[in-house]
A and B are shown apart, each in its own frame.
Chain A
Amino acid sequence: MQTAPLPSPAATAAPSPAATAAPVLSLNNVEVIYDHVSLAIKGVSIEVPQGGMVALLGANGAGKSTTLKSISGLLRAERGLVTRGEVHFMGHNIDALAPQRRVKLGIAQVLEGRRVFEHLTPDENLIAASAVRGSRQDMARNKDRVYAYFPRLHERRTAQSGYLSGGEQQMLAIGRALMTQPKLLMLDEPSLGLAPFLVAEIFDIVRRINKEEGLSVLLVEQNAIAALEVVSHGYLMERGRVVMHDSAEAMKQNPDIQEFYLGGAKGHEFRDVKHYRRRKRWLT
């Protein structure tokens, strides 16, 4: 007879990031200022566990994209600067590194709005993204891998990318990021403007890659319903701060989240929800 109590299934399904091995990514009190004056995020601390899938949720302008760019190094192109705090990736402080060095370390960001190279074919998009992974064999292998995950891209590989459908472009953007052999894949609003079945399809593929290759994923979404279905943990941002951090299950159950982000309000008109939301904030 067993004396020690078995860990509950819930606990094994959703271990806290701190309990697992060192996180692949950790932000510690990060503050970003644009143009020397405008404070975009303040004191943001998040962690992505090794092989984990974490969502960063929040409304428009909450600072989600800025947080991603502080990780990928793309802030500088927009005259943004990490003025406080540290970004650690696999134990390295990466704050001083140029974007391409970070990609080389294994950070890939799929930009909001997809941003495929429109005048190149999907095949050329993938080739262009293999610049950091030197050898031709690497490139060929990575291309095969991307085409295996996204057979539709293979069918359209010689079309002009600008004429692909939104879903195909999103697949291409993700495939392009995979060409860099990332250890951490960051997706910025991949569901934007896509039909729900496409969002589900794309999230499924991302989850498959996460499972099969142990690729850690940081998913930025306004679409909390879809996001919380695939991740184990979520952070909620508002006005440049993290205001909530919990397991995906707990977040789905949280009445405030339900009301504000999952549209599960009982009896509220959408207009009322918005009005209410404008008044009530976690931080004011």
Chain B
Amino acid sequence: MDLTLFGELAINGAMTGLMYSLVAMGIVLIYKSSAVPNLAQGAMTMLGGYVVLAIAGGFGAPLWVAIPLALATMFLVGVGIERVALRRLAGRPIIMILMMTLGLDIFVRATSMTIWGGTNRPMQLGISDTPLFLGPLLLNRTYVVGAVVAIALFVLFLLFFRTRMGIVLRAISDDYTASWSVGISVERGVALSWALSSVVATTAGVLWGSVQGVDQSLALLLLKGVAVAVLGGLDSIGGAILAGLLLGIFEGVASGYLDPLVGGGSRDLVIAMTLILTILIRPHGLFGRHDIERI
């Protein structure tokens, strides 16, 4: 067994996995603060990428201006989603809300298809293409940046959920009615969680956009995001990071050895198996909360 190849597959897998964590974190963020599993996270990631390009292209702004503007725009998009699509559903059965997020996913993808078409647009972040050498291992610089951003966001959200506002969001996800009863503005809390999640989605959209360009396929990151979020436990930010690492390594190594044998395409198989097995064996994931039942 070639140790260098294994190491390279593993470490690049880990980096890729942390970039999946970016998508997963957006899902966890919304789930942790409003108990809604958001199936539109992939589409929002893609939308984030398009918005950056639109601002950069439309106003000729350099990317370092366009990205903050896009983050702000997407923050407002998140607030808007709550106001238009979700407010009336507060307190309704979760299945209706889940279907609504699926509707949002389709809507966002269809809308961006109409506006921007299907061609792949490059996102030039100015990160060098030349690989980073770690001893004998080659690392993709963009993935390294992505991994660093993912970990930074993880620390940020860890701290955020200990603040008063963060505690309020966790309370909302526990019990809407009880939150109303103590004067929490549930609507505003949900809006904030969608806004933050949209910001995270944009970050993911930029990084993934620079890896594979911006097009409809970015929306498919939802599958990786969901797999990572479920494996980590839907309400655990730390779980999303660790599960991203694990899944990335697993996917990288497994597909690295499998692809030559089956002629490619085994990556998604690894992801699908992970998702299915997690739900069968450990539905609350690695770090998710068991639902507490009093004895």
Q: Do A and B come from one complex?
A: yes
The chain A residues found within 8 Å of chain B, CB to CB, are: 72-74, 77-78, 98-100, 103-104, 108-111, 115-120, 124-125, 127-132, 139, 160, 162-163, 166, 176-177, 179-180
Interface 1/0 per residue, B260-275 and A, CB below 8 Å: 0000000000000000
Could you tell me the distance in whole angstroms from the C-beta of A169 to the nearest C-beta in chain B?
9
Inter-subunit contact A118/B292 (CB<8 Å): yes
Q: Is the CB of B167 within 8 A of A116?
A: no
Min CB distance B24 to A, Å, is 20
Task: List B contacts of A111 (CB < 8 A).
Answer: 177-178, 181
Q: Do A78 and B167 touch across chains, with their CB atoms under 8 A apart?
A: no
- CB-CB < 8 A to A72: which residues of B? 181
Query: In the complex, are the beta carbons of B183 and A100 less than 8 A apart?
Result: yes
Q: Are B164 and A99 in contact (CB under 8 A)?
A: no
The answer to whether B180 and A128 touch across the interface, beta carbons within 8 angstroms, is no
- Is there an interface contact between B167 and A124, defined as CB atoms closer than 8 Å? yes
When A124-B167, A127-B167, A131-B168 are in contact, do A179 and B182 touch as well, CB less than 8 Å? Answer: yes
- A99 B170 Cβ-Cβ under 8 A: no
Interface membership of B90, Cβ < 8 A? yes
The answer to whether A176 and B174 touch across the interface, beta carbons within 8 angstroms, is: no
Closest B residue by C-beta to A118: B292
A117–B178 CA distance with the chains assembled, in angstroms? 8
The answer to whether A128 and B182 touch (CB under 8 A), given A77-B176, A118-B174, is yes
Closest to B176 in A: A77
Taking CB atoms, residues of chain B closer than 8 Å to A74 are 177, 180-181
For A78, the chain B residues whose CB sits under 8 A away are 91
Closest to A127 in B: B167
Chain B positions near chain A (C-beta within 8 angstroms): 90-91, 164, 167-168, 170-171, 174-185, 289, 292, 294
* A77–B184 touching, CB < 8 Å: no
- Closest A residue to B289 by CB, please name it: A119
Q: A129-B171, A180-B183 are in contact. List 8 more A-B contacts (CB 8 A).
A: A77-B90, A77-B91, A111-B177, A118-B175, A124-B167, A128-B184, A163-B292, A176-B182
Among B164, B182, B184, which residue has the most Cβ atoms of chain A within 10 A? B182
Residues of A within 8 A of B175 (CB): 115, 117-118
**Cβ-defined contact, B167 with A128, below 8 A:** yes
A59–B129 CA distance with the chains assembled, in angstroms:
74
Taking the closest CB of chain A, its distance from the CB of B111, in whole angstroms, is: 31
CB-CB < 8 A to A127: which residues of B? Answer: 164, 167
Closest Cβ of chain A to B50, distance in Å, is 35
B178–A115 CB distance below 8 A: yes
Choose from B91, B183, B289 the contact partner of A129 (Cβ within 8 Å). Answer: B183
CB-CB under 8 A from A130, the residues of chain B are 164
What is the CA–CA distance of A180 and B292 in the complex, to the nearest angstrom?
27
A-B contact pairs, 23 of them (CB 8 A): A73-B180, A74-B181, A77-B176, A77-B177, A98-B185, A103-B183, A109-B181, A115-B178, A115-B181, A117-B174, A117-B175, A118-B175, A119-B289, A119-B292, A120-B167, A120-B170, A128-B171, A131-B168, A139-B164, A163-B294, A166-B294, A176-B182, A180-B182
CB < 8 Å neighbour of A119 from B164, B174, B182: B174
A-B pairs with the 7 shortest C-beta distances? A103-B183, A162-B292, A132-B183, A128-B171, A129-B182, A115-B178, A117-B174
Q: Are B294 and A162 in contact (CB under 8 A)?
A: yes
* B91/A100 in contact, CB under 8 A: no
Q: How far is the CA of A104 from the CA of B178 in the complex (A)?
A: 15
A163 to B294, CA, bound (A): 7
Closest to B171 in A: A128
> How distant is the Cα of A130 from the Cα of B294 in the complex, in angstroms?
26
Interface centre among B183, B185, B289, B294 (most CB of A within 10 A): B183
Q: How far is the CB of B180 from chain A (nearest CB, A)?
A: 4
